């Protein structure tokens, strides 16, 4: 038998190369995965470092809000140093940068920005380029505008020149006179010594108004909110501008109210005078005259006022006009008094006091003293205790005969006057005597009643008479014009200076008395020749008699008359009862 070959067989070169290649590939794959794993761990560590720093800055701002207040005044950002965070205990002193393995330097910064929606954005790290970039801030000075009740909020806020008032832009202001512009509006470069942005505010800076609530119809404080794009940082920012609407110069801070000049009011009177004196914010005042029924025309209202009942009362007067700031002056409570006694009204409203005699005579300027008695209008001219003296205001009374001057012929006095009461004129139409006129007045005007008082005249006690000469002269002392005569040319008054009896003046007819004083149209008292007729030399033997027909104004006295309605004016006289 033959022998077997027992030698062992090894790896070929090819096989060895293949094995080595496989091992290299495996090692490479392992190394790549290891590197990825290591890098991923560093990224995570770095993110953790960034999170720690930004969280520390957030906590710092919460504890120190004043550090970022500039963000709300137009600044684009606020930087906080890492060293400050460490000093305040918000960050570990040994915190390392995961990438370099070195402790983060104190000079590193966290940048804080205010984003739209009013939230803070904390940025770390800040690149060198961003560190050198300077933010722009909005400067919007407060505006003050006039109160204007005619301009609505919508109209004001839709006007571009209003919203962008004072904007540093050639389309809005004359830049050559910009120093004179009040309430300026512009962007300022915080890093370039306050340089003003001179580009297009609308195209380049995206300036626009996002809200405006300015209302010129009401004084107060308002706001305009702007948004703009920072020309350097390219982030959107907001800014609020304060707008003040001034109060109106017509705003009344207070007022006083006086009813009927603090004088008594006639029972059932209407349109009672009320004076309002307003005081304005600048200290000036103004008087407003009105009545209780027309207060609304001057923006006032009255409550609790009535003239239908006698007595002392208090009314409430309030302003219905709202001031420019929405306020109103406090209501006032003026007192007033209602009476049915005419003598109370005359005494209070006319300030009448006796003038050296028992009777008090009203003066020229006291014009609100007309009364209506039984349908006829009279004027008050005097007071004697509770007795009120009136003179008739009408002009329709027939003119009686009145002689002005002495009768120089007995023939004339005996016969002529009896037949012809218009001596000096060739007529046979008889005229009534003065007594006849007064008697007819008594009947026609229903002058009667228990309050009617007798009047003492030269010819006896009469209930109707003429104004006495001494009374008229007393009244006329302060009268620059004819106080009682109105438009009448001439009218008679009683009480001749002579004490001669009626017979001396009228030989033929005792009822035809001679009233030898008159008042002319200027108010002067004359003795004779008030309206001289030429001396008549004719068939009736009148001689040198001077005669005329003159107007008369009867007077009556009433004791304590009561009143119901009216205000004493000629168009609305007090109504007597």
Q: Look at residue 495 and tell me whether its pLDDT is greater than 70.
A: no
pLDDT digits (tens, 9 = 90+) for 38-59: 555 777 888 888 898 999 999 9
pLDDT at 497: 46
- Residue-wise pLDDT tens digits, 522-542: 777 776 544 334 433 333 333
Which pLDDT score, from 0 to 100, does residue 381 have?
A: 86
pLDDT, position 244: 96
Q: What's the whole-number mean pLDDT along residues 307-324? A: 94
- Residue 67 predicted with pLDDT over 50: yes
* pLDDT for 422: 42
The answer to whether residues 339 and 345 touch, using CB atoms and an 8 Å cutoff, is: yes
pLDDT given for residue 116 in this prediction: 59
Counting every residue written for the chain, the total comes to 577
Which range is least confidently modeled, 75-89, 365-379, 507-521? 507-521
Residue 569 in this model has a pLDDT that exceeds 60: yes
Average pLDDT over residues 389-418: 58
Spatial distance between the Cα atoms of 118 and 27, rounded to a whole number of angstroms: 54
As a whole-number percent, the residues of the chain with pLDDT over 90 amount to 31
Neighbours of 573 (CB within 10 A): 24
pLDDT at 121: 87
Residue 430: pLDDT over 50: yes
pLDDT at residue 484, rounded to an integer: 63
- How far is Cα 197 from Cα 219, in angstroms, rounded to an integer? 33
pLDDT interval class at 16 (50, 70, 90): confident
Per-residue confidence at 276, pLDDT binned at 50, 70, 90? very high
pTM: 0.58
Say whether the peptide bond before residue 125 is cis (omega within 30 degrees of 0): yes
Q: In this predicted structure, which of 30-39, 232-241, 337-346, 355-364 has the lowest mean pLDDT?
A: 30-39
Q: Is the pLDDT of residue 214 over 90?
A: yes
Q: So what's the pLDDT on residue 556?
A: 93
Q: Which of 203-212, 242-251, 284-293, 532-541 has the lowest mean pLDDT?
A: 532-541
Compute the mean pLDDT over every residue in the chain, rounded to the nearest whole number. 79
Structure token pair of residue 29: 């794959």
Can you read off the two tokens belonging to residue 218? Answer: 């009401």
Please, what sign has the CA dihedral across residues 424, 425, 426, 428? negative
Residue 445: how many other CB atoms lie within 10 Å? 19
More confident: 212 or 472: 212
Dist CA 577 CA 560 (whole Å)? 10
Mean pLDDT calculated for residue range 543-567: 76
């Amino acid at each position: 038998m033959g022998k077997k070959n027992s030698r062992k067989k090894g790896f070929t070169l090819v096989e060895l190369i293949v094995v080595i290649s496989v091992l290299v590939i495996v090692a490479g794959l392992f190394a790549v995965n290891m590197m990825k794993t290591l890098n991923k761990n560093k990224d995570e560590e770095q993110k953790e470092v960034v999170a720690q720093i930004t969280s520390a800055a957030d906590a710092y701002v919460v504890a120190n809000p004043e550090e970022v207040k500039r963000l709300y005044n137009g600044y684009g950002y606020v930087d906080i140093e890492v060293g400050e965070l460490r000093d305040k205990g918000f960050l570990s002193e040994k915190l390392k940068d995961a990438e370099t393995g070195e402790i983060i330097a104190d000079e590193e910064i966290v940048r804080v920005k205010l984003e739209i929606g009013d939230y803070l954005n904390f940025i770390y790290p800040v690149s060198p380029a961003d560190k050198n970039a300077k933010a722009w801030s909005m400067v919007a000075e407060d505006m003050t505008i006039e109160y204007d009740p005619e301009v609505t909020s919508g109209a004001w806020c839709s006007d571009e020149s209003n919203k962008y008032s004072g904007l540093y832009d050639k389309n809005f202001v004359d830049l050559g006179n910009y120093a004179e512009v009040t309430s300026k509006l512009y962007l300022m470069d915080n890093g370039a010594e306050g340089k003003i942005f001179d580009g297009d505010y609308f195209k380049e800076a995206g300036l626009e108004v996002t809200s405006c609530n300015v209302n010129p119809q009401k004084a107060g404080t308002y706001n305009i909110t702007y948004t703009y794009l920072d020309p350097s940082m390219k982030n959107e920012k907001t800014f609020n501008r304060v707008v003040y609407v001034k109060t109106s110069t017509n705003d009344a801070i207070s007022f006083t109210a006086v009813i009927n000049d603090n004088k008594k009011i006639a029972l059932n009177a209407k349109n009672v005078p009320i004076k309002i004196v307003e005081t304005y914010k600048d200290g000036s005042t103004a008087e407003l005259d009105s009545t209780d029924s027309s207060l609304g025309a001057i923006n006032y209202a009255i409550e609790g006022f009535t003239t239908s009942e006698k007595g002392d009362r208090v009314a409430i007067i309030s302003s219905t006009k709202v001031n420019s700031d929405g306020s109103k002056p406090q209501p006032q409570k003026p007192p007033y008094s209602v009476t049915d006694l005419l003598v109370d009204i005359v005494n209070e409203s006319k300030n009448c006091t006796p003038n050296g005699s028992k009777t008090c005579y009203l003066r020229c300027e006291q014009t609100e003293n007309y009364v209506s008695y039984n349908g006829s209008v009279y004027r008050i001219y005097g007071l004697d205790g509770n007795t009120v003296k009136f003179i008739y205001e009408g002009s329709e009374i027939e003119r009686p005969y009145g002689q002005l001057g002495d009768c120089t012929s007995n023939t004339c006095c005996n016969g002529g006057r009896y037949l012809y009461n218009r001596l000096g004129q060739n007529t046979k139409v008889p005229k009534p005597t003065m007594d006849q006129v007064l008697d007819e007045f008594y009947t026609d005007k229903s002058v009667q009643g228990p309050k009617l008082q007798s009047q003492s005249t030269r010819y006896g006690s009469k209930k109707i008479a003429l104004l006495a000469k001494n009374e008229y002269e007393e009244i006329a002392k302060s009268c620059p014009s004819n106080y009682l005569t109105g438009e009448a040319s001439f009218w008679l008054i009683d009480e001749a200076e002579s004490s001669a009896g009626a017979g001396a003046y009228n030989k033929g007819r005792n009822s035809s008395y001679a009233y030898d004083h008159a008042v002319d149209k200027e108010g002067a008292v004359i003795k004779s020749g008030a309206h001289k007729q030429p001396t008549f030399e004719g068939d009736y033997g009148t001689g040198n008699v001077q005669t005329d027909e003159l107007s008369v104004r009867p007077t009556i006295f009433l004791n304590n008359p009561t009143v119901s309605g009216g205000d004493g004016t000629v168009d609305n006289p007090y109504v007597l009862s």
